[in-house]
Amino acid sequence: MSDAAGLGDVAAADMGVTPGLGAGGGAGAARPGRETFRLFVRNKAAVVGVLMLAGVVFMTVAGPRLYDQDPKDIVARPLIGPGELTEARLGTDYLGRDVLAGVINGGATSLTVAAMAAAMVLVIGIGIGAVAGYYGGWTDSALMRFTEFFQVLPALLFAMVVVALFEPSMWTISFAIGVVAWPGIARITRAEFLRLKNLEFVRAARAVGATDWRIIRKVVFPNALPPLIVSATLIMGTAILFEAGLAFLGLGDPNTTSWGLMIGLNRGNFLTAWWSVTFPGLAIFFTVLSFSLIGDGLQDAYNPKLRGR
């Protein structure tokens, strides 16, 4: 099975180590991890999402080995349609590069940027959200005002400013996306911590003398995970869209190949060479859709109210 389902499984197992998520535990309460997995697999849309993502990952990892064509090489005359050339089955772009090679190799950049951005979002968001939610009081106020500051920034505009200030590269683009996308995660984490921190099992842990750090890490955090995993999945999708959006606006790094950049650079020829933007566009579409479907599937699977159906 795919990574995403495995991730869900692990998270659900974690959830099993501490008792009492409260509300209506159903038939599988004894082995919630397995139950979550069962619910997820029963959700056809989610399985389709997993298969799509697996396909994209396979294309990105194995594609360049199976189809050995440098996406930057000029292989034929520019703007030749799909099916007309054996060396560029999906046509050529404005420079005469192979669109198929671009789609295959562009995924690595898009997915790497998305993963790095998502990792950054999770680290900042969970860190700030957990501290704010757990300690409350002025710490909470200060951190939440800080969060709101970033929340009210128009995300794409701010990301553009960040990328424009530094040179557009994979690192700055990931950084820019990470910097603008974390407030959502911080707020979800804080909400979960606020809800959980006064529940009995947390008090119990405190009563037996566990340190704050241990309680946050071992007791509260695992129980706050399900909604975070769902959000993280969706953030992967958002990050890919952001990367594409920045590249579309001319803030991509043309030294690397990415789907968004292909669309951005080729959009001037959109009226006459649909293939040069459509295929990378479809790649983005399926990748983002797969993350979205997986996210929805996970959310349903974690939702206790749907258990035992």
User: Which residues form the interface with other proteins (CB under 8 A)?
Assistant: 72-74, 77-79, 94-96, 141, 145, 148-149, 152-153, 160-161, 163-165, 167-168, 250-251, 253-255, 264-265, 267-273
Cα–Cα dist 136/227, whole Å: 21
- Is the CB of 252 or the CB of 295 nearer to other proteins? 252
- Min CB(105)–other proteins separation in Å: 15
Per the CB < 8 A criterion, the answer to whether 162 and 179 are in contact is yes
- Min CB(256)–other proteins separation in Å: 10
Cα–Cα dist 196/224, whole Å: 8
- Min CB(269)–other proteins separation in Å: 5
- Min CB(164)–other proteins separation in Å: 4
- Is the CB of 265 or the CB of 294 nearer to other proteins? 265
- Is the CB of 249 or the CB of 306 nearer to other proteins? 249
- Is the CB of 78 or the CB of 136 nearer to other proteins? 78
Provide DSSP, 246-290: HHHTT-S-TTS--HHHHHHHHGGGTTT-THHHHHHHHHHHHHHHH
- Is the CB of 93 or the CB of 300 nearer to other proteins? 93
Closest CA to 178 of 239, 91, 126: 239
- Min CB(189)–other proteins separation in Å: 21
- Min CB(250)–other proteins separation in Å: 4
Which two tokens mark 2?
A: 């795919």
Cα–Cα dist 281/283, whole Å: 5
- Is the CB of 18 or the CB of 151 nearer to other proteins? 151
**Mapping DSSP to helix (H, G, I), strand (E, B) and coil, where does residue 153 land?**
coil
Which two tokens mark 92?
A: 């050529």
Which two tokens mark 90?
A: 């999906």
Closest CA to 28 of 18, 20, 38, 43: 38
Cα–Cα dist 275/213, whole Å: 53
**Mapping DSSP to helix (H, G, I), strand (E, B) and coil, where does residue 141 land?**
helix
- Min CB(45)–other proteins separation in Å: 35
- Is the CB of 94 or the CB of 135 nearer to other proteins? 94
